[in-house]
Amino acid sequence: VLEKARRYGVNVSELLRKALEEEVRRREYEEVRMLLRRASVELRRISESLGEDFAVKSIRKDRETR
């Protein structure tokens, strides 16, 4: 395959570099999506355990201390 690619003037190193960069980018994107999904689940769990009005109370308390 390498010989055929060279015969057709394919810059193999550039093609491989671009393909590797794209694959790494794709996998990084998927990893971030997975981490965000986990964070979302965890934040939802925390929010449920603290109560729906926790954020409102926290913001009011913070504003009152200023």
Model pLDDT for residues 13-60, shown as the tens digit of each residue: 999 999 999 999 999 999 999 999 999 999 888 888 888 788 888 889
DSSP 8-state assignment for residue 9: T
Which residues lie closer than 8 Å to 15 by C-beta, 6 or more apart?
A: 5
Q: Write down the pLDDT at residue 46.
A: 87
7 alpha carbon, distance to own chain's centre: 40
Residue 8: pLDDT over 80: yes
Collect all residues with Cβ–Cβ distance below 8 Å to 2 and sequence separation of at least 6: 12
